[in-house]
Structure 1
């Protein structure tokens, strides 16, 4: 049994509760008023089924306010709210059936079973439509409005209901709703007027008077359900996709004009205007709307720059090929990279494109150099500090360093042939001043706009300095310059050396006076030779016009000694005698294999004119002594020449119809033209061109030097046995004129190993046993 103390405590609490509910009124009047207020408010807020979705039951605001005031005065407002939310929770399953219905309508093509072919045929004609998602949002909003607490309950009640309702709503939405919602908001991009809206939109969401956009009410409803805040990222992703699609369709391969500002204007006109619905519907003015949209607009501008930068990054190799016509695209890319940090992506893309499309054996060295120069110019536009160029150029420079003709191509561009359209500065801008190689630019630290260069910035040299810096030394370029200039000087026949003189002056600025002294001597030899020939011709007229050069100041010339025969030898001897009279202290050494001779070969029925090398002239001269010769006899008479050269020279006269090969290695002079030979003569040109360069190239000189150095290497390995590569390198430094580095020595030793001259084991080299 309960003790008296417990009974007293219960009685005391009951009295306090009764006094609280009765509110100090007579009898139980207050308690009855509280009961009526509770029942009235509960009935008014009771969740309705579908029949009550249209409108709420009419109520007296004053009376309802009094009911809530009575409940609040009894301090049971929180209890009433919990009871109300419990009632809502019990009715929430009613929403689930509607949500599932409209989602099945949207997903009909994947969720409905297909028992028969007829059912399948009907269903494949139906595609997911955004109108079902719009209807789902509409019915959900109507449920929320029907069950929402009245304003008289206060903001806390409304907030608690909204959280409860929307939590249930989000929990029952299937994953496919995200895709449907995305399609719905994407469709609203085209709702610019009442006429452009679909039939279902005005019916479901009547356009508010004074609002030009027919989807205004749709966004209001989505705001009520919290969909805008929940799917904010999804909404922006739709904008991003629209931007990406538009830039891809309108800006791809458009490099002749700047398009960044056009895309920004389009984004402001189309995308930002569309976003005023979810983000600035309640703006009071244009300034207010701009303030509300400031953050979103900045994110969209960033995405415009990022998308255009991605597109130009994919096209960067072709943009560089199209330079300078693609200069506007480079300016756009520069501005985009200032907004978006995608420099590393640009470097990786360009390096990958270079490896795939440029740095391979099928690409001509001159083409690689031209593209490299374009890369330098383009990347200097994008990044004047040279960070990008420094990172992109390294693989190109290493590849060019391994190509044997790179130096020659660079040098040829410095002293190019004007007739071929290749000027001396073909690899540099015409407006770029000629400056010494590797000239250091002193920084002006007093300049208020001076900024330190980034730590990864590359050297800021001009184009030619950058190309020459591929190699560690300028000596290779100077040697190649001497060889190329020698070839060009020896090829001049009209005696006009003005162009070469100008090239030498330009090269003096780049390489210095000392490096071009040899070239000046070669040029002076050519002019002195011309004056000397004019003097000799005045003394005794001669058909011979030789070029006299100083042997010690010219690069090595190709050797192929043979003696001229007959009248040619007599002409040489007469000219040499006159030269000895003019220059008693000097002696001519004829290089008969160089130069060209204009001939008239008089036969019985015709005269054949031709400009041929001296060897061809010497061989045809022998046929004036007898009509038939063998190749062996001809070689004996002209001196030491290779058989292949003799056959090639004779083939020239066979093609001109002067000789005929009766049998292998047996040739006969055709004094009278044969019919077939006459026809052949009409088709063949009367000029034979010298194919081999008269000057030994740098590569040929290096190969010859390495043959000399092989004698030292062979002696080392024979006397000392096995040696490591670094030891061989140290010992070779005592050999005369040895200037190779260890990498070049390693390449030479590897070539010797492939030829079976040496073997290597654990880094030790030894001679191959015979």
Structure 2
């Protein structure tokens, strides 16, 4: 039951409300006037179908509002405008089905025809509804804001999902009308682009679909970057892309993001944020494209310098360094680091990678991360050192080189500790690894040599390769010795004079040998021109027990006798299986002059003693030579038609040539390779070192079996107790690498274990 106080309070409020509505007039005449005003205002604001021509004329007629002005004034004076607005918004809710019907009608047609003009017409129609139902501006901005919010809320909930696609297509057409198929309706739209964007703004579509509008610009940028830049690596493309954006995208952006700008400076200020986002997207898209193409860009270097400059600029704005490393490592693993790739090809790609990544990232962090798998793979390949050394000596016949002629020749650079007192010291990049500083030599050759722990391996291999090249130089091309001498002088700058003293001795031996051979030729007219080398300074040559028969043995003995007279303190030890022999065969019906290896010459020499030989008898006369080599040597003369295999393992000299059937001619018509072109059979430095270290393998095997895993320095320290062990830790490391390739040991985190 209500208390007297509550009753008094309610009576007071009723009295106040009545007085406010009655406005102090006699009786209830003021209340009646207010009721009439309420009816007039609601009737004026009530939303109706805009197809009603009378309604459209009334809304456009200012006199109608003048008639309702007094009613609106009464409502405002009585502080009932909020109630009027509430009723008005409720009427909008009840009548919004009229707008929904038209929305569905337009969208059905669009989904059928996919004509963006229908979306523009729908937007224009929605703006008509919005303006027709809008309250008069005289009611103030608050009422207008409430109406706009209510209208847009119901509009956005009524738009179907397909409207987003249509709206996006319309925005894309406004940006690039030339990409859409021509039609009469679209061509008519061209002059009214500004009107289209004003309609979007009035309905709140720009704010509602801001991400959709931005995606149109992003997709157009992505398309332009792919069309213009894909596969185009010769020149930088960033400036061209920015010019395109200024000419094409910025005018489109002005209509959207700089509406109402009164000056250029104001428009620039309004576009600053969105312009930065679009410029960032250009950098990101171009960076993504160049990242996908990075392996082919490196292959095409230096013709791809423009793409590298673009990538360098993009990485300064876009954090894509990790993606670049991941993509390049994956491409290297798939296309480069596999058994089918030649070692020289891998090295060439590695050198190109070094040069390209130094352009993109001068500190070398990206190179450090990308190069690690390549370096580990090259370290496991047995011919890596030989390929690097072959490039170092500058083989003019190879046609390609790992070295850059423009790169200055400088000593090999070793890892240096950081000098923190240096005023020019800079901290490591934030994404650098823990071993970054110790693995960053400055020149390409130092980088290649640093694949291994010591340069001694390269020096040994250099000596072996130089020996091969010197021994393979024909008599008529003695000038090539001077070329090798120039190469060694250049390599002294890189490796130091001490490391190449043995190479100096080999070159001196070649000069002395040629001089002595010339002297003996003038004195004795010898037809034999051997190369005399120092046993202790040349790499180990493959030995053979071949005995040169007949006149060859006589010439060797005569030459040895003359050599002893010239150098009584030295003695010759012949390696008769090396070199070439030019012989003239005089048969009954023909004469042949051929250049063959010594074993072939020795075999045919025996046929000057008798015409028929059994293979076993030939083997006994030639010394301890393997049977397969002798049979191969005899097959050479059979192919020339000098010998014939009368029966199995029995060969006969053909003084008179037999008729050769066409098939035989075709089979033997290919010229034999010149023996002088083959490299001398010299063991590589790794082979030599492995042979020496195999003596100590049992000791190493016992250590690892009894003690488990050991680091290389522990193995070296324990081997010092073995008698006559004089190998360095670098030589031990090289042997352990060979053992690892033969699956005898494994190495993990610097610890060596038996491969069980």
TM-score w.r.t. the length of structure 1 is 0.87
Asked whether 1:748 is paired with 2:739, we answer yes
Most deviating of 528-537 and 67-76: 67-76
The more displaced of 262-271 and 448-457 is: 448-457
Moved more, 352-361 or 263-272: 263-272
| Structure-2 residue corresponding to 1:96 | 100
Partner of 2:471: 490
Distance 2:494 2:517 in 1: 34
The counterpart of 2:328, out of the listed 350, 373, 382, is 350
Q: Which runs of 5+ in 2 are unaligned?
A: 746-752
**CA-to-aligned-CA distance 1:122-166 (integer Å, 9 cap, x gap):** xxxx54333333333233222211111110111111111111111
Q: What is the TM-score with the length of structure 2 in the denominator?
A: 0.89
Query: Contact 2:287–2:311 at 8 Å: present in 1 too?
Result: yes
The alpha carbon displacement at 1:187 in A equals 2.4
Tell me the alpha carbon deviations over residues 299-346 of structure 1, each in whole angstroms, 9 at most, x when there is no partner: 111111111111111111111111111111111111111121211111
- Structure 1 window deviating more from structure 2 (249-258 vs 637-646): it is 249-258
Output aligned runs, 1:538-553, within 5 Å. Answer: 538-553=522-537
Residues 471 and 680, structure 2, Cα contact 8 Å, conserved in 1:
no
Aligned partners of 1:573, 1:393: CA distance in 2, in Å? Answer: 57
Say if 2:648 is the partner of 1:660. Answer: no
Matches within 5 A, 1:354-369: 354-369=332-347
2:235 pairs with one of 231, 251, 257: 257
* Distance in structure 2 (CA, Å) of the matches to 1:3 and 1:241: 72
Equivalent pair of 2:380/2:741 in contact (CA under 8 Å): no
Contact 1:518 1:553 in 2 (8 A): yes
Contact 2:542 2:682 survives alignment (8 Å): yes
Q: Structure 1 residues 545, 222: closer, same or farther in 2, change over 3 A? A: same
Instruction: Describe how 1:225-624 pairs up with structure 2 within 5 A.
Output: 225-422=203-400, 426-438=401-413, 451-454=426-429, 456=432, 457=436, 459-493=440-474, 494-496=477-479, 497-624=481-608
| 581-590 or 535-544, larger mean C-alpha shift | 535-544
CA distance in 2, matches of 1:396, 1:567: 55
Displacement of 1:267 after TM fit?
1.6
How large is the RMSD of aligned CA atoms in angstroms? 3.2
Report SS of the residue matched to 2:51.
helix
Q: Please state how far the C-alpha of 1:485 moved relative to its aligned partner.
A: 0.5
Q: Give the match for residue 14 of structure 2.
A: 14
Task: Provide, for residues 563-593 of structure 1, a one-character-per-residue CA deviation record: whole Å limited to 9, x for no partner.
Answer: 2111111111111111111111111111111
- Please report how far the alpha carbon of residue 723 of structure 1 lies from its aligned counterpart in structure 2 after TM superposition: 6.5
Q: Provide Cα deviations, 1:587-625, integer angstroms capped at 9, x if missing partner.
A: 111111111111111111111111111111111111111
Measure, in 2, the Cα distance between the counterparts of 1:700 and 1:732: 20
The secondary structure found in structure 1 opposite 2:313 is helix
Match of 1:123 in 2: none
CA–CA distance in 2 between the matches of 1:744 and 1:182?
Answer: 68
In 1, the alpha carbon distance for the partners of 2:197 and 2:502 equals: 84
Whether the aligned pair in 2 keeps the contact of 1:628 and 1:666 (CA below 8 Å) is: yes
Equivalent position SS for 2:660: helix
In the aligned structure 2, how far is the partner of 1:679 from the partner of 1:746? 49
Return the alpha-carbon distance in structure 2 between the equivalents of residues 447 and 269 of structure 1. Answer: 49
What SS class does the counterpart of residue 245 from structure 2 fall into? Answer: helix
**Greater Cα offset, 260-269 or 741-750:** 741-750
Is the aligned partner of 1:155 residue 2:141? yes
Q: Secondary structure at the match of 2:641?
A: coil
2:414·2:441 contact (CA, 8 Å) conserved in 1? no
Distance across 2 between alignment mates of 1:290 and 1:450: 41
SS of equivalent residue, structure 1 residue 538: helix
Q: C-alpha displacement at 1:737, in angstroms?
A: 4.5
Distance, in Å, in 1 between the alignment partners of 2:667 and 2:118 is: 88
Shift of the 472–608 alpha-carbon distance from structure 1 to 2, 3 Å rule, reads same
Report the alpha carbon displacement of residue 725 of structure 1 after superposing the two structures with TM.
Answer: 5.3
Matches within 5 A, 1:110-259: 126-191=112-177, 198-200=183-185, 213-259=191-237
Distance across 2 between alignment mates of 1:616 and 1:388: 56
CA distance in 2, matches of 1:295, 1:532: 84
Task: Report the alpha carbon displacement of residue 224 of structure 1 after superposing the two structures with TM.
Answer: 1.3
Q: CA deviation at 1:440?
A: 6.5
Answer yes or no: is the 8 Å Cα contact 1:23–1:30 preserved in 2: yes
Tell me which of 78, 81, 89 is aligned to 1:77: 81
Say which SS state the counterpart of residue 277 (structure 1) adopts: helix
Q: Is the 8 A contact 2:467 2:539 kept in 1?
A: yes
Closer/same/farther in 2, CA of residues 747 and 471 from structure 1, 3 Å limit: closer
> Cα–Cα, structure 1 residues 608 and 723, in superposed 2: closer, same or farther, change >3 Å?
farther
Distance in structure 2 (CA, Å) of the matches to 1:765 and 1:196: 69
**Greater length-normalized contact order (CA 8 Å, ≥ 6 residues apart):** 2
Q: 2-side partners of 1:390 and 1:446: how far apart?
A: 25
Contact 2:309 2:359 in 1 (8 A): yes
Residue aligning to 1:698? 685
Which range moves more in the overlay, 89-98 or 501-510? 89-98
Tell whether the 8 Å contact from 1:21 to 1:34 is kept in structure 2 after alignment: yes
Please say if residues 22 and 29 of structure 1, whose CA atoms lie closer than 8 Å, have aligned partners that are also in contact: yes
Contact 1:609/1:686, CA 8 A, preserved across alignment: no
2:750 corresponds in structure 1 to none
- Is 2:413–2:441's contact at 8 Å kept on the other side of the alignment? no
**Partner Cα distance (1:752, 1:50) in 2:** 89
After TM superposition, give the deviation of residue 465 of structure 1 in Å.
0.3
**Count of residue correspondences:** 726
SS where residue 660 of structure 1 aligns?
A: strand
Alpha-carbon displacement from aligned partner over 1:355-406 (angstroms, at most 9, x marks no partner): 1100000000000000000011111111111111111000000000000000
Shift of 1:489: 1.1
